[in-house]
């Protein structure tokens, strides 16, 4: 499994995560618990956890190319909900499983 992750600075992370999960719940399996969210894509899972500094995003799956495409999808959608402060800063890094 491969994971690509980013920490996005925003004071409104919980709001954006809830909006994003609600938006995708019509087509994908989503879960929201407090300020944390999870979206199950066909071949990957995105988790988003919020703290005082922002949103920690991790997208996990087998295909690295597909994960890279999902970084763009997730970022575009979050930026749409964060239009007042968009574009948010994304610094994606790979974490490979042993």
Q: Is residue 95 part of a domain?
A: no
Question: What is residue 98's predicted lDDT score, i.e. its pLDDT?
Answer: 53
Q: What share of the chain is helix, strand, coil (3-state, %, to 5)?
A: 30, 40, 30
Q: Is the pLDDT of residue 96 over 90?
A: no
Enclosing domain of residue 27: 2-87
Give 23-34 as a 3 state SS string: HHCCCCEEEEEC
Question: Confidence class of residue 95 from pLDDT cuts 50, 70 and 90?
Answer: confident
CATH number at residue 38: 3.30.310.50
Q: Is the pLDDT of residue 69 over 70?
A: yes
Question: What is residue 97's predicted lDDT score, i.e. its pLDDT?
Answer: 66
């Amino acid at each position: 499994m491969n994971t690509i992750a980013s920490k996005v600075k925003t004071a409104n992370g919980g709001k954006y995560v809830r909006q994003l999960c609600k938006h995708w719940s019509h087509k994908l399996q989503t879960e929201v618990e407090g300020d944390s969210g999870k979206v199950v894509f066909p071949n990957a899972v995105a988790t988003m956890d919020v703290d005082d500094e922002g949103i920690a995003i991790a997208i996990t799956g087998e295909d690295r190319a597909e994960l890279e495409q999902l970084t763009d999808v997730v970022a575009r959608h979050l930026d749409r909900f964060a239009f007042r402060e968009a574009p948010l800063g994304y610094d994606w890094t790979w974490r490979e499983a042993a």
